[in-house]
Amino acid sequence: MYEDEDNKRETLKSVFIKIVLVVLLIFVLMMLFPTKGFVTNYVDEKVKENSGSDNFNNNLLAMATAGSGYFTSSRLPKETGEKVKMTLGEMYDSKLLVRFSNVNNRTCNTKNSYLEVTKEENEYTMKVNLSCSDKTDYIMLHMGLDGTQFPSTSTARCEFVKSLDDTWAYGEWSSWSTKKVNGSSTVQVETKVSKVQTGTKQVPHTVVYEGGATKMYLNGSVKYVCPSIYDNAGVYDSAVSCKQSKTTYTTEPVYKNVTYYRYRNKTLNSRVDTKWSNCDDEELIKQGYVKTGNEN
């Protein structure tokens, strides 16, 4: 009888230990492998975070693309340093954009979000600023002064071409030379005349010196005498002026006029202008550009 009770006690003890082990095993498994609900909620939160960031970037690029089509040459500032601005609210009112949808309860400020175009010294810049409740950032677009439209940020871009009028283009001027060149319809000639020293020459200069004749009595008569050093040396009955001429020489350069020539050739150029823009760029089509079918 006592043996049966001992056996029962051993059996109950064994069952209790097994139950405890099973409970511990279940607890460990729950710690190692989260429940389906836990995994689903975690993934949903991460997707919301990533989609929110992507949505902000997409909204920023949408503003930039709308602005690149709106700010054509007639709407650009004229003077260096001048700015023009359009807020997100004005873009909504002008039907350039549909209102951004809310993600994670985000709202975007329609006044602090804007496009601002500035004329710099050598280019135009467009600042695209988006200010929302959870994030604020901006991007910059650049365009040369001779452009007609900011580059689009749209991922779909097409090639447009337009044939331009044929023009004459001149090459570089040649060096100046004394070799004569004749102009023609394809050769433009310029000339200049310069004085060039070709040698020297001796130039005489004559100076006449005068002095009074010497008064003398010869054979009881008054005479006037010019000494032999004078050109008119001799004895005169009346007073005369004695004259002596002297010649000196100076060395002077000899010049002559020389004609110089230079020329440049000109050729006829056939030109085609190529632009890449968003594929629905109506402004380029109005200007005579056509799509080539190439896209990137």
Map out the domains of the chain as residue ranges.
Answer: 49-153, 187-259
Whether 252 shows a pLDDT value over 70: the answer reads: yes
C-alpha to C-alpha distances, 238 to 210, 219, 241, 243, 286, nearest whole angstrom = 16, 15, 10, 15, 110
Q: Give me the residues paired with residue 175 across strands.
A: none
Whether 21 shows a pLDDT value over 80: the answer reads: no
208 touches 247 (CB < 8 A) = no
Residue found under tokens 């000109």: 266
Residues 196-224: tens digit of each pLDDT: 999 999 999 999 999 888 989 888 899 99
Residue among 128, 92, 130 at smallest CA distance from 109: 130
Give CA–CA dist 4/10, Å, rounded: 10
Residues 264-281: tens digit of each pLDDT: 998 877 677 888 777 777
281 touches 160 (CB < 8 A) = yes
Q: What length does the chain have?
A: 296
Q: Is pLDDT larger for residue 185 or for residue 194?
A: 194
Q: Is pLDDT larger for residue 47 or for residue 227?
A: 227
Got the DSSP string for 191-245? EEEEEEEEEEEEEEEEEEEEEEPEEEEETTEEEEEE-TTSTT-EEESS--EEEEE
Average pLDDT of every residue of the chain = 81
Give CA–CA dist 95/108, Å, rounded: 17
**Per the confidence metrics, is the pTM higher than 0.85?**
no
Sign of CA dihedral 284, 286, 287, 288: positive
